[in-house]
Amino acid sequence: MLILISDAFDASLPERLKDFGEVTDDKSRVAEAEVVLIRSKTKCTREYIDAAPKLKYIIRGGVGLDNVDQVYAKEKGIRVENTADASSVAVAELAMALMLAPINHVVAGHNGMAGGKWLKKELKRTELYKKTLGLIGIGRIGTEVAKRCQAFGMKVIAFDAYVDKHEIAELKSLDEVLAQSDFISLHTPLTDETRSMINADRLALTKEGVIFVNTARGLVVDEAAMTKALESGHVACYATDVWSSDPPPADCPLTSAPRMLMTPHIGASSKENLGRIGDIVVDKLQGYQK
Ligand code: NAD
């Protein structure tokens, strides 16, 4: 069997998979592949699946399966699985970094000093302590963020369309979360329901000076509406790891908007997480071969 490693995985993985069959990262061999390992870059669309007649198993190292046409894969009898539990801590830690960096002026302080400026008087910090965090989506990653924010002394509230009790967060309606939060962190999958969920009407419900953190998916946020809210200063920061595409297109209004804090979709890319994902892939292939 040919195993195609189509995206970035732990460097040790090709060696670890050799016992299961031939391993390649040559994407032009997709037509021969029985197993394809992807992260978020490879898009397993209908066309991709049609170009891979031997394909039986897609393993997505990570969580979101919005880059796989799951309906068509099922129709073709292709098994599709993710490594859902591996990434929660890695993504939650990035969400904390994106929350802490703007209120501590980490980037401005660094850039100031690199440019020979001592901005001690200009850079007034604020704290997470006693602020309200609103989580939208409180599954695996949302829960890890809730735990960390609770430890920072924050009040944690959440809206989740499919969860009605939670051990840490006080559950509220979406409008209440939007209206009451100082920080809003997004943790839903990208679905038809969540696409552009954060739009102009919903942004209008938020507090002046709210900080948004997005480690979920770029398209959960309406980019044009967010750009306007950043330009007016209503949103004090949009700290995002995720984009409408990877990388965002040249005309993405957010990359040149004020009050942005940007990372290039690295939420799951910790060394430790890539190791955990590799372990799960090996376990899955062991199960597949039995
Ligand atoms: P999860 O399934 O454990 O949690 C998602 C939560 O969102 C669930 O509780 C679900 O009920 C809720 N939800 C679904 N639809 C909703 C809606 N319409 N309104 C409100 N809540 C809704 O998933 P997770 O492991 O916490 O991951 C969440 C998302 O994070 C993934 O789907 C993925 O898109 C994203 N992610 C990003 C990175 C990154 O690198 N930045 C890495 C991993 C995951």
pLDDT at 278 over 80: yes
What average pLDDT does range 57-63 have in this prediction?
96
pLDDT grade for 104, boundaries at 50, 70 and 90: very high
CA 34 distance to own-chain centroid? 28
Find the length of the chain.
290
How high is the pLDDT of residue 102? Answer: 98
Which CATH number characterizes residue 209's domain? 3.40.50.720
How high is the pLDDT of residue 64? Answer: 87
Ligand 1 close to Cβ of residue 64 (< 6 A): yes
Q: Considering the entire predicted model, what is its pTM?
A: 0.94
| Better-scored residue on pLDDT, 64 or 285 | 285
Considering the domain architecture, whether residues 188 and 281 belong to the same structural domain is answered as no
Ligand 1 close to Cβ of residue 218 (< 6 A): no
Considering the domain architecture, whether residues 159 and 256 belong to the same structural domain is answered as yes
Considering the domain architecture, whether residues 167 and 213 belong to the same structural domain is answered as yes
Considering the domain architecture, whether residues 159 and 229 belong to the same structural domain is answered as yes
pLDDT at 234 over 80: yes
226 touches 196 (CB < 8 A): no
The number of beta carbons lying within 10 Å of the beta carbon of residue 129 is: 8
Q: What is the pLDDT of residues 156-202, one digit of tens each?
A: 999 999 999 999 999 999 999 999 999 999 999 999 999 999 999 99
Q: How many domains does the chain have?
A: 2
Report the nearest-CA residue for atom 16 of ligand 1.
Answer: 161
pLDDT at 290 over 80: no
Ligand 1 close to Cβ of residue 188 (< 6 A): yes
Considering the domain architecture, whether residues 161 and 34 belong to the same structural domain is answered as no
Ligand 1 close to Cβ of residue 217 (< 6 A): yes
pLDDT at 129 over 80: yes
Considering the domain architecture, whether residues 11 and 47 belong to the same structural domain is answered as yes
How high is the pLDDT of residue 158? Answer: 98
Considering the domain architecture, whether residues 33 and 165 belong to the same structural domain is answered as no
Mean of the per-residue pLDDT values for the chain?
A: 97
pLDDT at 252 over 80: yes
pLDDT at 11 over 90: yes
Full domain range(s) for residue 59: 2-86+271-289
How high is the pLDDT of residue 173? Answer: 98
Considering the domain architecture, whether residues 80 and 93 belong to the same structural domain is answered as no
Considering the domain architecture, whether residues 40 and 138 belong to the same structural domain is answered as no
How high is the pLDDT of residue 283? Answer: 96
pLDDT grade for 149, boundaries at 50, 70 and 90: very high
pLDDT grade for 275, boundaries at 50, 70 and 90: very high
Report the nearest-CA residue for atom 25 of ligand 1.
Answer: 140
pLDDT grade for 120, boundaries at 50, 70 and 90: very high
What average pLDDT does range 36-41 have in this prediction?
96
Q: What is the pLDDT of residues 261-270, one digit of tens each?
A: 999 999 999 9
Considering the domain architecture, whether residues 155 and 275 belong to the same structural domain is answered as no
64 touches 35 (CB < 8 A): no
Considering the domain architecture, whether residues 67 and 184 belong to the same structural domain is answered as no
Considering the domain architecture, whether residues 113 and 233 belong to the same structural domain is answered as yes
Distance between CA atoms of residues 10 and 2, nearest Å: 18
Ligand 1 close to Cβ of residue 237 (< 6 A): no
How high is the pLDDT of residue 168? Answer: 98
Q: Which two tokens stand for residue 201?
A: 């009407």
Q: Are strands 35-38 and 79-82 parallel, antiparallel or unpaired?
A: unpaired
Distance between CA atoms of residues 235 and 203, nearest Å: 8
Report the nearest-CA residue for atom 39 of ligand 1.
Answer: 267
